Amino acid sequence: MFQMKSYHKMLLLISSLYVLMGCTKDMHHKLHAHMEKTIHAHGAWVRAVPPVSHMSAAYLTLINHGDKDDQLLSVETELAKVAELHNVKKKDGMMSMFPVPFVPVPAGGEQSLKPGSYHIMLINLNKTPKLGEEYELVLNFKNAGIVKTSAAVKEGGSM
């Protein structure tokens, strides 16, 4: 009798494990599908600056493969103590740069961060970016979460 109860308990335990493994696998696939990034960054670069400069800028193109508008909320990089989102507008015949709370990235579209438009200001540089170096940019989106990209240092004219 004792062996029969132990056998049934073991059978119940094994059956439960199979059920749990199936649920776990299904949950894993659902989680993985949910976590696939809808935002991709490409063509990222950082402007080379002289050693006396305490600021630079980063540029890139964001592509939203999703069906929801998104927003780039913030950026982090080891290159600078502060990374701010900025835009440039023409007002009274003068170009004016100002911080923005986010950069919009339309559903199924793209947003270019480029000179004279939206861009990432790198303030209080930790070191001078030199041609050929690369730095990681950690992009934080409202919906897509964290997206990381590598930005090469390039010449870029005036800011």
Domain of 116? 39-154
Q: Looking at the structure, do residues 32 and 44 belong to the same domain, yes or no?
A: no
What local confidence, expressed as pLDDT, does residue 1 receive? 52
**Which carries the bigger pLDDT value, residue 148 or residue 91?**
148
pTM for this structure?
Answer: 0.76
* Cβ atoms < 10 Å from Cβ of 97: 13
Instruction: Average the pLDDT over 140-155 and give the result.
Output: 97
pLDDT tops 70 at residue 64: yes
What local confidence, expressed as pLDDT, does residue 18 receive? 47
What local confidence, expressed as pLDDT, does residue 143 receive? 96
Whichever domain contains 95, its CATH number is: 2.60.40.1890
Instruction: Average the pLDDT over 126-144 and give the result.
Output: 97
Within a domain: 159:
no
Domain count, the chain: 2
Q: Is 132 left (phi over 0), alpha (psi -120 to 50) or beta?
A: left
pLDDT tops 60 at residue 32: no
What local confidence, expressed as pLDDT, does residue 92 receive? 87
Alpha-carbon distance of 141 to 106, in angstroms, equals: 12
Q: Looking at the structure, do residues 137 and 69 belong to the same domain, yes or no?
A: yes
CA dihedral 100, 101, 103, 104 (to 10 degrees): -120
Give the confidence band of 11 by pLDDT, cuts at 50, 70, 90: very low
